[in-house]
Amino acid sequence: MFFLGEGKFQEKAGSTSPKCRMVLLDSSILMYPIKGKKGLTVNIESALSEISGGAELAVLNTTMEELKFLRSRAKGKTRIAADFALEFIKQLRIEVIDVDEDTLACVSKAHEEGKIRDFYDEVLIKTAKKLRASVATMDMGLAKRLKEEGVTCYFLSNRNWVIVSGNLC
């Protein structure tokens, strides 16, 4: 595990820094500037630039669907945060990747059968594995699942990036 603070990785537990060619962004990280902890401001653009290290930033089309759903159905801060995230993606011209039909079918079936709880997280995990990409998130539950699945994950904790090592990159 690593901590990224002041522009440098600070090694912990003797791991080596993962080098991924793509970082997929979870909705939670995109909405964090609005929904984050009170009094803890984060410049999400520079934070994402810091972790990407030359890797491409991307979002899944299912993440876009989730954000559009939240913008239209949620209330208060969540609605504003979803709107911010969609505008952020547009302004930075972050690539939107279409999830393949097999992954969607597999996850949809498991979701309908009650085998998985969060459809969007499961799609993100399976797609990250297929693409050998890492994931940036604020969702600690998702970060734990990604680690279990061997996917490198960046988790923002009090303005420091914690890198949860995985095996895929």
Residue 66 carries which side chain, given as an amino acid letter? E
Calpha distance 150→41 (Å, rounded): 30
Say how far residue 88 (Cα) sits from the centre of its chain: 14
Enter the tokens of residue 149. 């699945």
* pLDDT of amino acid 116: 81
Reference 118, options 154, 90, 144; nearest CA is 144
pLDDT of residue 41: 64
**pLDDT at residue 167 in the model:** 59
Per-residue confidence (pLDDT) for residue 88, from 0 to 100: 94
User: Which residue segments constitute the domains of the chain, with CATH numbers given?
Assistant: 19-164 (3.40.50.1010)
Distances in Å between the Cα of 2 and the Cα atoms of 47, 48, 51 are 15, 16, 12
- pLDDT for the residue numbered 54: 78
Residues (pLDDT < 50) of the chain are 1-18
Q: pLDDT value at position 160? A: 66
pLDDT given at position 81: 95
